[in-house]
Amino acid sequence: MSFLLKEQNSKKALLVSPSLLAADYGYLADAAISAEKGGADLIHIDYMDGHYVPNISFGIDLIPALKKRIKLPLEAHLMISNPEERVEDFIRVKPDFIIFQEDTLLNHNKTISMVREAGIRPGLAINPDRELSEIEDYLHLIDYLLILGVHPGFGGQKFIRDTLKKMVRASEIKQERNLDYLIAVDGGVNLKTAPEIVKTGVDILVAGSAIYGSKDVKRAISDFKSLIRT
């Protein structure tokens, strides 16, 4: 975790991570720059392979390209079927976080350790229909827990309110076990759903359409950051 993220998290600041999946693909660098200037804390990059999810999104080389243009931490969220076969490729381009779909890993311990040993922060993402109990044994190994509020693969879906229970439980486990992973929520995050999400104790709001579909990216980010964490 970067010093900036540690400092903000200790002050119970709410972090905002705009998702490039909702940006104009012809202007991805501009979208990232506008997010940075608008006060975003991270940039979220969803990698889709057309297999684990039906869509295909970005190439790996987007990460080094963005690093030339912005200084924000980059989150690589791997929604791919064979992450253990590709993890070395992602390590090579050095995003700040590599986040795996928990149901795609054959060896959680080994893969998470490989990422951490490379100086990159490991994370796990969990789908709406998966129970947090599936990954409780690995939570002490990660720096980032991504709870999906919609089924992965498509932007603009309606938030699944039942996932709020998972957020509450993730916050409880974090406190009970004295762990320091960041809890993020992605999918269906907008100004209508965010207040209830924030009350669960999450650290990061990942938002796509609510930011890049707005006429004023800076204002959209500011509106999210004005929400108070419990």
CB atoms under 10 Å from CB of 171, counted, come to 18
**Short-list 142, 135, 96, 85, CA closest to 118:** 96
Q: Does 58 reside within a domain?
A: yes
Q: Pick the catalytic residue: 41, 46, 96, 203?
A: 46
Give dist(CA 1, CA 158) in Å, integer: 30
Q: Does 230 reside within a domain?
A: no
**Short-list 97, 81, 87, CA closest to 41:** 97
89 classed as catalytic: no
pLDDT greater than 80 at residue 185: yes
pLDDT greater than 50 at residue 7: no
Q: State the amino acid at position 54 in one-letter form.
A: P
pLDDT at 157: 75
Domain with residue 116: its CATH number is: 3.20.20.70
Our measurement of the distance from residue 132's CA atom to the centroid of its chain's CA atoms, rounded to an integer in Å, reads 17
30 classed as catalytic: no
Q: Please tell me the total count of domains within the chain.
A: 1
Q: Does 108 reside within a domain?
A: yes
Q: Pick the catalytic residue: 41, 96, 143, 186?
A: 186
> What beta strand segments (E) does the chain contain?
15-18, 43-48, 74-79, 97-101, 121-126, 144-148, 182-186, 204-207
Which structural domain, as residue segments, surrounds residue 84? Answer: 3-225
Model pLDDT for residues 127-183, shown as the tens digit of each residue: 999 999 999 999 999 999 999 999 987 666 799 999 999 999 999 999 999 999 999
